Amino acid sequence: MSPQRATLRDWVGLAVLVVPVLMMSMDMTVLYFALPFLSATLEPSATEQLWIVDIYAFMLAGLLIAMGTLGDHIGRRRLLIIGAVVFGASSLASAYATSAELLILARAVLGMSGAVLAPSTLSLIRNMFQDPGQRRTAIAVWTAGLSGGAALGPIVSGVLLEHYWWGSVFLINIPVTILIVVLGPVLLPEHRDPKPGRFDFLGAVLSLAAMLPVIYGIKELADNGFDWKYAAVIAAGLVIGVLFVLRQRAAPNPLIDLSLFRDRGFTASIGVNLVALFAMIGFLLFATQWIQLVHGLNPLEAGLWTLPAPLAVAVTTSVAVGLAKKIRPGYIMAIGMVVASAGFAIMTQLRADSSLAMAVIGASVLSAGVGMAIPLTADLIVSAAPEDRVGAAAALPETANQLGGALGVAILGSIGAAVYTRDVADVTTGLPPEAAEAAEGSLGGATEVAKHLPADTGDALVTSAGEAFTRGMNLSAAVGGVVMLLGAAGAALLLRQVKTPTVTSAPADETKGETKGETADEPSPVPK
């Protein structure tokens, strides 16, 4: 039986689903430029500043799987609307926070509600678009919204901060809340597991307790260099992660069906997601700093120069959907990752005096390649799960994004930082110890130190620091390119027998927990 095709109402509903994930990803980056302004008002300590920025991503990553499963239990549309209301309320609280402590608390709640948005919207897309071709198109649009939000965050923040106070960067979420509350019940269907069983609260606690220390430890290693205490924090998170897996194997109603990981398409797609975001997010942080600090642009100008990258993602997600009609997804992912490695190759050739256009082209080619892979991984992941229990599976792409991004920033960032510190030390020998330490710590630190030095000395420091940073970025780009090529080989090899899904997985009671990936040897079961 041919799957039911989406109606005009479903496509309009897709627009309602894309807006909240755009806001969710925008809130990951919207504070980059607002932090100095809110710091002047709230006067947070250095530690509080870090928590203001990071607590959102920590809570988001830690609760994605639990919130995806909760949607299966209480209804995905209902949870989306509840999450949107809490998202709006916590945005309002963030905007008018009167202390650093209150802002950290509000941002934590914002992250908790943000964890609802990605799995709820992706699982609803899975339910609304039964035709595989239409579903891939819808997921491509969803992916473009997710990547576009992160790029738009600094730009929107820069525009608002030129005219309003720092809290305005949070108030842009309020119209989104109203949109979802008003149009959601009209345009979005309700879907839930008809036999959900009891919600696994212990599993939810363990998933949060596992993710938080891992993400936190990785980030601290990236910011401060290797330290055994942060390694111990990561190890503790991994131990709790093992306990989470054991709990999922024993629980009568687990948050996620571990048998899904026996599906090669499902598991390999998660791996491709993680590897792609490892390389892209880990490196693009260098690219944005290079554009802003080496070329001396203000934040808004730098943000505008980075816009072509998410636009490239929007284009290539559509290209990938078209190719998927004729080419197996693993090969398309591999092609995309090879394209991304070409972007990295361009970035290895940058010099401190290279044109901005060269950097933008490299970043755009890199992003375009990743854009070919991500929507197909998401499609294979959600297609493998039973329709009634797709919530937790829908959380896994974003979970892989968070983990991959954190690892990329930590590892590629550490490589680049090591080169920078080694090379810039040649010109800091005559500086006071505190100034030398600040200059060797980061390019931003060197730029700030140079302002307080005689003109000739300051100019020499800025020039040398820019060259050292660029060399560090070159090496990180080379490593990122190699990682992408290895990922391409893995995708082509592991997914060579996995076909593009052509049928929709049956409800859970019909599939009895079997895996749903369609391979050349074992086609997916057709719904009754």
Domain definitions of the chain by residue range: 12-197, 200-252, 259-409+479-511
Q: Is residue 498 helix, strand or coil?
A: strand
Give whole-number Cα distances, 44 to 37, 103, 219, 274, 366, in Å: 11, 10, 20, 34, 37
Most confident of 24-38, 343-357, 374-388, 439-453: 343-357
Least confident piece of the model among 7-21, 73-87, 359-373, 430-444: 430-444
Assigned CATH for 259-409+479-511: 1.20.1250.20
Position 46 scores a pLDDT of: 66
Least confident piece of the model among 47-56, 159-168, 328-337, 504-513: 504-513
- For residue 442, name the pLDDT band (cuts at 50, 70, 90): confident
- For residue 520, name the pLDDT band (cuts at 50, 70, 90): very low
Least confident piece of the model among 112-121, 277-286, 372-381, 417-426: 277-286
Give whole-number Cα distances, 34 to 29, 141, 146, 388, in Å: 10, 29, 21, 41
Cβ atoms 266, 517 nearer than 8 A: yes
Return d(Cα 289, Cα 473) in angstroms, integer. 10
Position 509 scores a pLDDT of: 43
Average pLDDT over residues 54-81: 87
- For residue 1, name the pLDDT band (cuts at 50, 70, 90): low
What radius of gyration do the chain's Cα atoms show? Answer: 23
Q: Is residue 519 helix, strand or coil?
A: strand
Return d(Cα 60, Cα 402) in angstroms, integer. 9
- The pTM score is 0.80
Position 502 scores a pLDDT of: 63
Return d(Cα 400, Cα 391) in angstroms, integer. 15
Judge whether 12-197 and 259-409+479-511 match in fold: yes
- For residue 453, name the pLDDT band (cuts at 50, 70, 90): confident
Distance, first Cα to last Cα, the chain: 8
Q: Which residue in 191, 207, 361 sits closest to 291, CA to CA?
A: 361
**What is the chain's mean pLDDT, rounded?**
83
Q: What is the dihedral of CA 143, 148, 150, 153, to 10 degrees?
A: -150
498 has a pLDDT exceeding 70: yes
427 has a pLDDT exceeding 70: yes
Q: What tokens appear for 308 in the block?
A: 């072509």
Position 199 scores a pLDDT of: 84
326 has a pLDDT exceeding 90: no
Return d(Cα 55, Cα 39) in angstroms, integer. 16
266 has a pLDDT exceeding 70: yes
Q: Which residue in 30, 23, 62 sits closest to 145, CA to CA?
A: 23
Residue position matching structure tokens 């074992």: 522
Question: Backbone dihedral region of 434: left (phi > 0), alpha (psi from -120 to 50 degrees) or beta?
Answer: alpha
Cβ atoms 394, 126 nearer than 8 A: yes
Cβ atoms 393, 256 nearer than 8 A: yes
Return d(Cα 215, Cα 45) in angstroms, integer. 22
- For residue 102, name the pLDDT band (cuts at 50, 70, 90): very high
Class of domain 12-197: mainly alpha
* Percentage above 70 pLDDT, the chain: 93
Position 240 scores a pLDDT of: 94
Return d(Cα 330, Cα 490) in angstroms, integer. 9
Return d(Cα 129, Cα 375) in angstroms, integer. 14
Return d(Cα 288, Cα 297) in angstroms, integer. 10
Q: What tokens appear for 164 in the block?
A: 């309003």
Average pLDDT over residues 51-66: 84
Q: What tokens appear for 114 in the block?
A: 């943000």
Average pLDDT over residues 227-247: 92
Q: Is residue 506 helix, strand or coil?
A: coil
